[in-house]
Structure 1
Amino acid sequence: MKRFLAWVLAVLLSALFLVPASPAANAAPYCGITWGSLAKRDSGSAAGAALTGVRAGRHTCYDRLVLDVRGDVDGWDVRYVPVVHAEGSGKPVPVAGGADLQVVVRVPAYNASGRPTYTPANPSRLVNVSSFSTFEQVAFAGSFEGQTTIALGVRARLPFRVFVLDGPGSGSRLVIDVAHRW
């Protein structure tokens, strides 16, 4: 009986090694993207910096949002939220799409004298993203007490990454890439 049980156990164990792994387990991530969708932040702050522009671009595997800053971007917080709220008032800032990505950059959209450094022509549509794969709408949620919030409506809760690029000149850019799919 012991030999029979040992033989059955050996057959079962060898069968486990012969079963091919599922395709999902062996599948490479989409375009090599391994970013995830959890909140990302840098808790610094930028004295003397100011937001000067917002633009977007399409890439093969992701859509990109760029916030142009005069000075250094040292602090930001980007996360999915149920709804983005306006700076100062707390009013909801509705955006199209299946998920809302709140982009907070710790720089104002005004200078030390209180004059605007970034004045969008249409605060509810900062850039035209109508032909983008992932972005649905980009809206200005205001600037208050040294920070600026952008509401980014995306198709679904998808992986994203955030990083800062230096330049041009003494400026910098906060970059948010959102993948087209998982």
Structure 2
Amino acid sequence: MKNRSAATAIALVSVLVVAGCEEGARDDAAPTPTAGESRSADASVSASPEVSGPEESRTPEPGGSGGPGDGGGAASPTAGGDGGGSGAVPSWGTARKDGEAEGVDPALAPKLTAVRVAGHDAYDRVTFEFDGGVPAHMVAYLEPLHQPGSGTPVPVEGEHSVEVVLVGALPEGEYGGKEQTSGVREITKVGLFEGELRVGIGLDTEGDGRAGFRLVTEANRLHVDITHGASPV
């Protein structure tokens, strides 16, 4: 009888110990979030800002520094017109511009056969046409013009004057004249000295200052394009 009571007591103690261990294990375990808590966590993740990509690259608008449209001037002319131009169009401005010979036979001197003037909406084009390729050339404002060697002034119609120097070229035929356009007032011969043929262009500019110009070569032609209005550079 005493043995059964002792066995029952031991079994009861064992049950209580096991139950206590299971309850402690449940308390130590991580709590399972409720449905509401799960929705809050998901909303927090979706609300995170997305990583932005690189800023959009912007192409500058046409009419940069040196263009006739700069500073409220005339609209930028294109390379079209009398004969058109080939390749990239150089920038406009009043500074001296040089160009290398194109299509010239080293054994033969290119010949200047004609000089023509054509008016366009925003600029005038003076075209030098050659036989035997386009010689090396330099174009710059020179006021006043003067004969090479002697230094004698060469009068030319217009407020400003530009000199075109054609290296190694020879004149052939007649060219020149006054009242070409409202901008180009006169084309005149300046002289031939030490292998350089010089031609003057007399200009009147709309507004104060010098007109901008650019050089465009094409086949046997050199185009000197001159804006109607004064250039900001």
**Same-fold status (TM-score > 0.5):** yes
C-alpha displacement at 1:119, in angstroms?
3.5
CA contact (8 A) 2:212 2:226 kept: yes
Say if 2:95 is the partner of 1:38.
Answer: yes
Say if 2:183 is the partner of 1:134.
Answer: yes
* Cα pair distance change 1:77/1:40, threshold 3 Å: same
* Cα pair distance change 1:127/1:57, threshold 3 Å: farther
Consecutive unaligned residues in structure 2, runs of 5 or more: 1-69, 78-90
- Structure 1 CA distance, aligned partners of 2:100 and 2:179? 29
- Structure 2 CA distance, aligned partners of 1:79 and 1:179? 14
**Which 4+ stretches in 1 moved above 6 angstroms?**
none
- TM-score, normalization by structure 1: 0.67
CA contact (8 A) 1:74 1:106 kept: yes
* Cα pair distance change 1:88/1:60, threshold 3 Å: same
Matching residue of 1:73: 134
Say if 2:208 is the partner of 1:160.
Answer: no
Say if 2:150 is the partner of 1:100.
Answer: no
Matching residue of 2:45: none
C-alpha displacement at 1:100, in angstroms?
0.9
How many residues align? The count is: 140
- Structure 1 CA distance, aligned partners of 2:126 and 2:120? 11
**Greater share of strand:** 1
Larger Rg: 2
Question: Matched residues, percent identical?
Answer: 28
C-alpha displacement at 1:128, in angstroms?
4.5
C-alpha displacement at 1:88, in angstroms?
4.3
C-alpha displacement at 1:44, in angstroms?
4.4
CA contact (8 A) 1:73 1:107 kept: no
Consecutive unaligned residues in structure 1, runs of 5 or more: 1-25, 111-116, 121-125, 167-171
Q: What amino acid sits opposite 1:177 in the alignment?
A: D
- TM-score, normalization by structure 2: 0.54
CA contact (8 A) 1:55 1:127 kept: no
CA RMSD of aligned residues (A): 2.3
* Cα pair distance change 1:54/1:96, threshold 3 Å: same
